[in-house]
Chains A and B, each alone.
Chain A
Amino acid sequence: DTAVSQTPKYLVTQMGNDKSIKCEQNLGHDTMYWYKQDSKKFLKIMFSYNNKELIINETVPNRFSPKSPDKAHLNLHINSLELGDSAVYFCASSQGTGRGYTFGSGTRLTVV
């Protein structure tokens, strides 16, 4: 199936740990994104890569570091996790501008 897939679906970890979330798309899109959805369902863009180049880097703590080894993959690494990092993180992809995104099913991160 053509899709945006992200792993893991659930992640429970302790404060201070380092964790990664992986995302892959097989749609042939040239741009990938990370969004954070808080408990009130509000969506906030974090990062975007276009053909492995960082093009959007919103105000995000530098504990969050994206990496794009190729245009089909975009990973998110989080250092020194804090309670406030608990949220659902969505990966998405698009082709060009103004066309909307295809989203992954999300990773629910819980920091305890």
Chain B
Amino acid sequence: GNSVTQMEGPVTLSEEAFLTINCTYTATGYPSLFWYVQYPGEGLQLLLKATKADDKGSNKGFEATYRKETTSFHLEKGSVQVSDSAVYFCALSDQNDYKLSFGAGTTVTVRA
């Protein structure tokens, strides 16, 4: 079956630091890959996505590249802000499946 493994947190950074959250996946087909963000007290919001190998998703300064050879979709941001403090979820969805499989989530705290 499909599964997602992401870096355990919590992660604590200073403002303007570089952020990387590792995500690897197992899938039987050719999945679409997603990063969702959950700000405190809110629902999940789609941050970025990639639908095929070598695609790069980007949004709000975050980037992730779909790497089929390493089955990875690592999230990066070059300079984080306090407002980036949130829980980040990596997820995948098979093209033939309605189910979205989530990683365990990584809590990121950015300090001023």
Give the size category of B's interface with A.
20 to 34
Q: How large is the interface on A (under 10, 10 to 19, 20 to 34, 35 or more residues)?
A: 20 to 34
The DSSP consensus for interface residues of chain A is strand
Please measure, in the bound complex, the distance between the C-alpha atom of A97 and the C-alpha atom of B92, giving whole angstroms: 11
Tell me the interface secondary structure of chain B in the complex.
Answer: strand
Chain B residues with CB below 8 A from A103, complex form: 36, 43-45
Closest Cβ–Cβ distance, residue A87 to chain B (whole Å): 14
Interface residues of B (CB under 8 A from A): 31-32, 34, 36, 38, 42-46, 49, 51, 87, 89, 91, 93-100, 102, 104-105, 107
A55 to B98, CA, bound (A): 9
Give me the interface of A with B, judged by CB distance under 8 Å: 4, 31, 33, 40-43, 45, 48, 50, 55-56, 90, 92, 94, 97-106
CB neighbours of B36 from chain A (8 A): 103
- Min CB–CB distance A96 → chain B (angstroms): 8
State the total of A-B contacts with C-beta under 8 angstroms: 66
Closest residue on chain B to residue A50 by CB atoms: B98
**A94 cross-chain contacts in B, Cβ below 8 A:** 98, 100
Q: In the complex, A105 Cα to B41 Cα: how many Å?
A: 8
| B87 with A106: CB separation less than 8 A | no
Partner of A100 from the list B93, B94, B95, B96 (CB cut-off 8 Å) is B93
Chain A residues closer than 8 Å to B51, beta-carbon distance: 98
In the bound complex, what is the Cα–Cα distance between A90 and B32 (angstroms)? 21
Cα separation A40 to B106 with both chains bound (whole Å)? 10
